[in-house]
Amino acid sequence: MAGQQARQAGQTQRTIHVGGEWREAASRATREILDPADAKPFAVVAEGDERDADAAVAAARRAFDSGEWPHTPVAERAALLRRVADLLVRDRESLGLLESRDAGKTLEEGRVDIDCVADAFRYFADLVVGEGGGRVVDAGSPDIHSVVVHEPVGVCAMITPWNYPLLQASWKIAPALAAGNTFVIKPSEITPLTTAALVDLLVEAGAPAGVANIVTGPGHTVGARLAEHPDVDLISFTGGLASGTKVAQAAAVSVKKVALELGGKNPNVVFADACQTDEDFDTAVDQALNAAFIHSGQVCSAGGRLIVEESVRERFVAELVRRAGRI
């Protein structure tokens, strides 16, 4: 609840959580977070550096190597994830507003994001319970016994982009925790607020100290240190190609596991037979607009290219331009 109290009081918000405690940055540096609507600061957060990253990795390492979380029964880990989902639903309005203000989304998009985040926690809770631990596979001979055992990887470092801060964080945090890993997350330095709030909820839901750590700060210091750190077993990165390339290079030195979700440029294809009725035509135009312009078009999967069959091209483009002008 510490982070929540700080949010309400409008003080410097505690966004570095290491080994079960909220703390200032080792350097005591802070950063102003700007509201994209008016470019004015509306929050101040801790600005960590390599020392904070090291402390967080050490805490996550301890919690994994000698803590209870990796050995906690799957059903209990799933129960924690479900409690987090309930807390997200409880705080939907405040979190949706915070996400809207932090990332410059409409309030409705902010609320929908929180719903999807709660769904992600429930999804991975169900998935891990369904997996049910060890399993004997028929190896084709009575003399051969093959067993599939699911084990946590260890300490997972996570780096997320600015545009869907909490959704991206949840797609990394929920599966990692479900599987018994500990983690250190570094959200985008310009949109860190809801990720810190999520760590607050994890603490409230009962995550043991050291299991859930967050360090806010720049990519070239905190992010780079997490990527290269020898005590990190896996790094999961979502962001642009240039940063992802650096993460992959840094991670290669210690040959850790790497997951990269990078930028994209996606085509939407509209054929004439999808525009046969006026209703279908309207739907196709709306979906093309939605694909290109939702969240001001700042989406990794945005439909930034449109390929339209020649026979409907003129009508389609004219209507698309007319509607785009009204956004």
**Interface residues with ligand NAD (CB under 6 A)?**
159-164, 186, 188-189, 218-220, 223-224, 227, 238-240, 243, 246-247, 261-264, 300
Residue number of the CB atom closest to ligand NAD: 219
Q: How far is the CB of 264 from ligand NAD (least distance, A)?
A: 6
CB of 250 to ligand NAD, least distance (A): 7
- Marked catalytic residue, from 24, 109, 300, 309: 300
Would you say 13 or 236 has its CB closer to ligand NAD? 236
Q: Which is nearer to ligand NAD, 160 or 182 (CB)?
A: 160
Q: Which of these, 173, 189, 65, lies nearest to 124 by C-alpha position? A: 173
Q: How far apart are CA 91 and CA 299, in angstroms?
A: 25
Q: Residue 211 in contact with residue 182, Cβ under 8 Å? A: yes
**Minimum distance of ligand NAD from residue 103's CB (angstroms):** 10
Q: How far is the CB of 171 from ligand NAD (least distance, A)?
A: 8
Least spacing, CB of residue 241 vs ligand NAD, in Å: 7
300 carries an active-site annotation? yes
Angstrom distances, CA of residue 144 to CA of 139, 147, 275 = 6, 10, 58
Task: Output 96 or 217, the one with its CB closest to ligand NAD.
Answer: 217
**Cβ-contact 247, 183 below 8 angstroms:** no
Among residues 197 and 284, whose Cβ is nearest to ligand NAD? 197
Strand partners, 183: 156, 212
Contact 31/40 with Cβ under 8 angstroms? no
Catalytic pick among 261, 309, 310, 314: 261
The CA R_g of the chain, rounded to the nearest whole Å, is 22
Q: Least distance to ligand NAD from the beta carbon of 215, Å?
A: 11
Residues with catalytic roles: 261, 300
